[in-house]
Amino acid sequence: MAVDNDTDRRALSDAAAVASRTLTGQPLVHLGLVTAILLMASPLLLAFVMSTQTIPEVYDITNLGIGSDGLSNYVEVLTTYELLGYMVNSLVMSIVVTVGKLAVSLFAALALVYYDFRFKNAVFFLILFTLMFPVPVRIVPLYELMVAWGWSNTLLALTGPYLASATAVFLLRQHFSSIPDSMVEAARLDDVGPLTFLVRVLVPMSRGMITGLGVITFIYAWNQYLWPLIVISDQNKQVVQVGMKYLQSVGNAGQTDWGLIMAGAVLTLLPPLVALIAFRRPLLETFGLQT
């Protein structure tokens, strides 16, 4: 088996070497790549196809063409089933989480890099330690806390638990540490205060990192399902991922209206997609720094 693996790997690397030399002359390589892309894109493509189909068309699995419903599923899901309202709720939540998380993380990283205080490393490791307690793990005590504070069913409860992020603090701390000390020393010699330094020097110098983090956070917040499901009880305050769930009960004669759900899914996908496309460069920078 190990031997097989080895030869496979060698064959692969050989193929890669040949491919890079004579890419145009390798139709097999192209075929492989196209297949891989189609495979990865298939859920998205199927969702789009189904979103245009009527219920009978969806249940006929050999029917993979554009359906006869056209865009009516989209119109219906936005109007009759108020997906637009859920999307607005999601947008508000995502923006609050993104801005709040970035602000909290920026201050935390500023403190961790530019201030001397006792047990600084211990504090930093404690923050990293929280990586092992994501929101789903804390969900029961968090819910009790929200109820005790009277926050349940509010935006505070929806966004609060996401504001502190060990990942963001870690990435920003590493980024700040890579900025030469002489920058802050030059500022200290001019009596520039820490907040001015943060806003005028650190933030502009970390623009790529902050934007990248912002995009990741936005998508992460947009995709939250479990916590909103638990902490929000009013349907009109609910976010879009849970709103999608409500669509599942819609349908005729026990048949789920997948066309409707897929239309909702495609619409739900758009804001993160726009964010990804708009900010792809800074996002790459963020990941570049991680490796």
Partner 1 sequence: MTGIKLTNLKKEFGDVTAVNGVDLAVHEGEFLVLVGPSGCGKSTTLRLLAGLESATSGTVTINDSDVTDAEPGERDVAMVFQNYALYPHMTARRNMTFGLKTATDFSSTQVDERVAEAAETLDITDLLDRKPAALSGGEKQRVAIGRALVRDPEVFLMDEPLSNLDAKLRVQMRAELAQLHAKLQTTTLYVTHDQVEAMTLGDRVAVMDDGAIKQVAPPQELYDRPSTRFVAEFIGSPGMNTVGATLDRLGDRLVVSWADVGVELPADDVPEETVGERVVFGVRPEDIHRDPDGPLSLSVTVTEPLGDSLLVRGTTGGRELEVSLPPRAGVRAGDEISLAVDGDRLHLFDAETGAAVYHSMSSSAAQNPDATEPPTVTGQ
Interaction site with partner 1 (CB under 8 A): 180, 182-183, 185-193, 196, 200-201, 204-205, 207
- Smallest distance from partner 1 to CB 179, Å: 9
Buried-exposed string 129-139: b where 16+ CB fall within 10 A, e elsewhere: eeeeeeeeeee
What's the CA gap between 55 and 266, in Å, rounded? 17
Q: Indicate the residue type of 115.
A: Y
- Smallest distance from partner 1 to CB 190, Å: 3
| Nearest residue (CB) to partner 1, 15 versus 289 | 289
| Nearest residue (CB) to partner 1, 190 versus 234 | 190
Decide if 210 contacts 203 (C-beta within 8 A).
yes
| Nearest residue (CB) to partner 1, 60 versus 185 | 185
- Smallest distance from partner 1 to CB 189, Å: 5
CB proximity list for 100: less than 8 A, separation 6 or greater? 159, 162, 163
| Nearest residue (CB) to partner 1, 194 versus 271 | 194
Tell me the sheet residues that pair with 251: 256
Q: How many CA atoms lie within 13 A of 185 on its CB side?
A: 4
Orientation angle between helical segments 166-177 and 83-114, nearest 10 degrees: 40
| Nearest residue (CB) to partner 1, 80 versus 196 | 196
CB proximity list for 263: less than 8 A, separation 6 or greater? 51, 73, 74, 76, 77
The DSSP line for 206-245 is THHHHHHHHHHHHHHHHT--HHHHHH---GGG--HHHHHH
Residue 198's nearest CA partner among 105, 83, 260, 291 is 105
CB proximity list for 266: less than 8 A, separation 6 or greater? 47, 48, 51, 74
| Nearest residue (CB) to partner 1, 203 versus 250 | 203
What's the CA gap between 11 and 18, in Å, rounded? 10
- Smallest distance from partner 1 to CB 257, Å: 52
| Nearest residue (CB) to partner 1, 102 versus 127 | 102
- Smallest distance from partner 1 to CB 115, Å: 15
- Tally Cβ neighbours within 10 Å of residue 38: 10
Q: Indicate the residue type of 275.
A: A
- Smallest distance from partner 1 to CB 204, Å: 4
- Smallest distance from partner 1 to CB 110, Å: 16
- Smallest distance from partner 1 to CB 118, Å: 16
| Nearest residue (CB) to partner 1, 182 versus 249 | 182
